[in-house]
Each structure stands twice: as structure tokens, then as C-alpha cells.
């Protein structure tokens, strides 16, 4: 960190002193006997683009709807900009939401859709429509202002929905699967557009998504949810490189998981005995005791492949390439070790004319100690 002051400004969650803009405390939501959200704590800072990531039914949408005010929490508190949100109805909250279905009013033109919120605020018509025009210019829809929603394409509707939610300048914008209905190419373009808009307006965003690529691209931080609980909160890099559980490691990207136990915990060295790889030698880590069951997570690209035995690491194994997939910038391998376990490895293809490792070759795979992430749950 060369400039810690800047990092603290752009990444306030790294600093202990920073005051959260939105704080969720011990929120529980039960529907009859089903607990959708259980004991969630969450701090979100001003100007963040926070992603709630999880599979459908994990409670991420329910959490979002509680922030918007459409669901009342069974217990717990939500504070936005220092104001307690209990008993504040959705029409009085400083939040706006962009719905997954966009929820554009079918009987109103684009312009009227976007103006609706401003007119409800009691803004004079002329001023409201001036702001609408400005917002429509921003999302590049000024030519379609008079169209009805059914005369627009999916991408255009998405932008109307975004404009309608943003035009009121909410303190917090909630986006429920904002890009879910777009096709892949459009989605990728829109992701960066969304970030640009968010940065230029400085509005705090909370995005709900089930798409990990989307979350990784958009987010300042990601909260990974499962069964109503936030499993891990962290920057995309943290979530990917340092998952705190098998679930998170497996959910984000692909991973090789090994089961084992701490075999030796000396001050200068730790050994983990796994069934699949045998012994793995690592630098010592705190918090682990002898005999403790642990899991190791290794990303495929962290394995190094070579034809000769690598000298720089004690952790190397021999196996045979069973499958190989060349996808251009990378090649994916499945390697059967002598112990019978199948390893997923991948390598980026940097050199144009190298002779790549291919099917049925006998190869060495190895890993640096830092590549082996030890998980306790």
C-alpha cells in the first residue's frame, strides 16, 4: 500500500474509524416457520457498490426488500444515514429500487415513468421534466422519451428502470438482478456503464445477483449469502483468494478441495496430511492445532504443470493428463494423480509457439505454499 490515505478514502471498510452509511444489525426475517434471513449484520459505506451474491432462495432478495421497506424484519434494526428505518413505509424511505422485472408502468411513456417519482415529491412539472430529460440523456434514451415500455427493447427498458430509480437521487439505490434479463454481450457492456453511472453520481448501490462474474466485476465488496446467512464479506479479490469456508471457495470460481488434518504444527513448518495428496508442507499458521480436521482449497490456475520435477517446492505430485481443453487464452487440464484423485488445473497460454502439455502425458504438478488455502469449515 503505497498511499494508505487514498486506500482509506476509497476503501473505508478497511479503516476501523470509518462510519458506516447503512448498518444492518442482527436482522431476522421469518415467513411462518421458514427463516429467510437469520441474524445478518452488515455495514455499508457511502459510495460503495455492494453486491449480495448467492443462489436463489438464499435470502438476498428478502434482505434487499427489507432495506426497501417492502418486508418488515421479524427482529433487528436497519439504519440508513443515521435514521432508523423501522416503521418507515417504502414511500418515505431515502431509497429507490430497480426491480428485476423492471416494473415499468405499461400505461405511461418513458418520460412519464421517469417523472413519476419526482411528481410524487411535489416537484413542479417544469422542473421535474427538466430533470427527467437530463437523466434520459445520461442513459442515452432522450430520443425514446415518448415511447411506451412495450415499444422498447430489453436493454432500453433496463435503462428506463435505472433512470426512474436514479432520478430521485436516492441515498441508496437497491438493484435486484439489474442485468439478469439481458443477453451476455449486452450484460458485459452494461456492467461497466453501471459502474460509470454509479461513480459519477456517487450514490450508494446495493446489487443483488446470482452471477459471480457480475458481482466480481461490479462490486467494491461482496457479501456471499447462503441459507439466510452472510458467509463472508470482502473485496472481490479477498473472496476469491482467501475464502473463509468451503462453501465460498466452491461458490466463487472453480476450486480443488482436499480433506485432511493437521499432522504436524512446528514453529517453522506445518504439515497437513491429506487423503488425496498425501503430505502438504506449508508455513505455519496460527489458530490450527494438531489433529484438527481441515480442508485445503487450491484454484486450478495455482497449480504449476511441468514435464520435469520442479525443484523450488516440496509439494509436487506426478500424474497423467486425462483431459485437456484448449480455449484460447487458457488451457484446462484434468490430471489423474497416482493416488487416483482427479485434479483440475489450468494454465494461461502466453507463448505462441510453445509445445503445450497434452493428452496422456505424464506430468508433474506442483504448488507454492501460499496457493494452498487452509479452511477450517
Partner 1 sequence: MRGWFLPLAVVFGFVFLYAPIVSLVVFSFNDSRLVTVWGGFSTRWYGELLRDRQIISAAWISLKVAFFSATLATIIGTLGAFVLTRFSKFTGRLILTAMITAPLVMPEVITGLSLLLLFVSMEQMVGWPAGRGMITVIIAHTTFCAAFVAVIAQSRLRSMDDSLEEAARDLGAGPVRVFFDVTLPVIAPALVAGWLLAFTLSLDDLVIASFVSGPGASTLPMVIFSKIRLGVSPDVNALATIIIGFVLVAVAIAGWLMRRAMRKEL
Q: In the bound complex, what is the minimum distance in angstroms from residue 58's beta carbon to partner 1? A: 20
| Residue whose C-alpha is closest to residue 161's, from 153, 46, 171 | 153
Q: Which residues pair with 176 in a beta bridge?
A: 208
Sole window of 6-14, 90-98, 183-191, 306-314 interacting with partner 1 (rule: CB under 8 A):
90-98
Residue 373 interacts with partner 1 (CB under 8 A): yes or no: no
Among 31, 105, 192, 359, binds partner 1 (CB under 8 A): 105
**C-alpha–C-alpha distance, residues 112 and 76, integer Å:** 37
Residue 239 interacts with partner 1 (CB under 8 A): yes or no: no
First to last CA, the chain: 30
Residue 202 interacts with partner 1 (CB under 8 A): yes or no: no
**C-alpha–C-alpha distance, residues 160 and 193, integer Å:** 14
**C-alpha–C-alpha distance, residues 285 and 260, integer Å:** 15
Spatial contact of 60 and 52, defined as CB atoms under 8 Å apart: yes
Q: In the bound complex, what is the minimum distance in angstroms from residue 167's beta carbon to partner 1? A: 9
Question: Cα 60 from chain centroid?
Answer: 12
Residue 164 interacts with partner 1 (CB under 8 A): yes or no: yes
Q: Which residue has the cell 466485476?
A: 217
Residue 156 interacts with partner 1 (CB under 8 A): yes or no: no
**C-alpha–C-alpha distance, residues 25 and 39, integer Å:** 8
Residue 208 interacts with partner 1 (CB under 8 A): yes or no: no
Among 25, 116, 169, 253, binds partner 1 (CB under 8 A): 116
Q: In the bound complex, what is the minimum distance in angstroms from residue 367's beta carbon to partner 1? A: 48
Task: State which residue, 42 or 67, has the beta carbon closest to partner 1.
Answer: 67
**C-alpha–C-alpha distance, residues 137 and 370, integer Å:** 49
**C-alpha–C-alpha distance, residues 213 and 232, integer Å:** 17
Task: State which residue, 123 or 316, has the beta carbon closest to partner 1.
Answer: 123
Q: Interface residues for partner 1 in 47-76 (CB under 8 A)? A: 68-70
Q: In the bound complex, what is the minimum distance in angstroms from residue 175's beta carbon to partner 1? A: 12
Among 89, 283, 291, 340, binds partner 1 (CB under 8 A): 89
Strand ranges of the sheet holding 221-226, from the earlier edge strand across to the other edge: 95-98, 172-176, 204-209, 49-53, 221-226, 229-234
Residue 153 interacts with partner 1 (CB under 8 A): yes or no: no
Residue 171 interacts with partner 1 (CB under 8 A): yes or no: no
- Residues that bind partner 1 in the complex, under the rule CB under 8 A: 68-70, 89-92, 95-97, 99-101, 103-107, 116-117, 120-121, 148, 150, 164-165, 168
Amino acid at each position: 500500500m503505497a498511499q494508505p490515505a487514498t486506500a482509506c478514502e476509497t476503501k473505508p471498510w478497511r479503516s476501523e474509524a470509518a462510519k458506516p452509511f447503512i448498518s444492518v444489525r442482527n436482522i431476522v426475517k421469518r415467513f411462518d416457520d421458514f427463516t429467510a434471513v437469520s441474524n445478518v449484520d452488515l455495514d455499508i459505506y457511502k459510495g460503495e457498490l455492494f453486491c449480495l451474491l448467492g443462489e436463489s432462495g438464499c435470502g438476498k432478495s428478502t434482505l434487499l426488500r427489507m432495506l426497501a421497506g417492502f418486508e418488515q424484519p421479524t427482529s433487528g434494526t436497519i439504519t440508513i444515514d443515521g435514521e432508523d428505518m423501522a416503521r418507515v413505509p417504502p414511500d418515505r424511505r431515502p431509497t429507490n429500487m430497480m426491480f428485476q422485472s423492471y416494473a415499468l408502468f405499461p400505461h405511461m411513456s418513458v418520460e412519464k415513468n421517469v417523472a413519476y417519482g419526482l411528481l410524487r415529491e411535489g416537484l413542479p412539472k417544469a422542473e421535474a421534466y427538466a430533470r427527467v430529460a437530463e437523466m434520459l440523456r445520461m442513459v442515452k434514451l432522450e430520443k425514446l422519451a415518448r415511447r411506451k415500455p412495450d415499444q422498447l427493447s430489453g436493454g432500453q427498458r433496463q435503462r428506463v428502470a435505472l433512470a426512474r430509480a436514479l432520478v430521485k437521487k436516492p441515498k441508496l439505490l437497491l438493484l435486484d438482478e439489474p442485468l439478469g434479463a439481458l443477453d451476455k454481450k449486452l450484460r458485459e457492456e452494461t456492467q461497466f456503464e453501471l459502474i460509470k453511472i454509479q461513480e459519477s453520481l456517487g450514490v450508494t448501490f446495493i446489487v443483488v445477483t446470482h452471477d459471480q462474474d457480475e458481482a466480481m466485476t461490479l462490486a467494491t465488496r461482496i457479501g456471499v449469502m447462503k441459507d439466510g446467512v452472510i458467509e463472508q464479506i470482502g473485496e472481490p479479490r479477498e473472496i476469491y483468494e482467501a475464502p473463509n469456508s468451503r462453501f465460498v471457495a466452491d461458490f466463487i470460481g472453480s476450486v480443488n478441495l482436499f480433506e485432511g488434518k493437521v499432522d504436524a504444527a512446528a514453529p517453522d513448518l506445518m504439515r497437513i496430511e491429506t487423503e488425496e495428496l498425501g503430505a502438504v508442507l506449508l508455513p505455519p499458521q496460527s489458530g490450527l492445532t494438531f489433529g484438527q480436521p481441515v480442508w485445503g482449497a487450491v484454484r486450478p490456475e495455482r497449480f504449476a504443470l511441468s514435464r520435469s520435477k520442479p525443484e523450488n517446492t516440496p509439494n509436487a505430485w506426478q500424474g497423467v493428463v486425462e483431459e485437456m481443453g484448449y480455449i484460447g487464452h487458457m488451457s484446462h487440464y484434468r490430471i489423474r494423480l497416482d493416488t487416483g484423485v482427479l485434479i483440475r488445473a489450468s494454465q494461461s497460454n502466453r507463448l505462441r509457439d510453445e509445445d503445450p502439455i497434452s493428452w496422456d502425458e505424464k506430468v508433474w504438478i506442483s504448488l507454492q505454499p501460499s496457493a494452498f488455502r487452509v479452511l477450517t469449515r
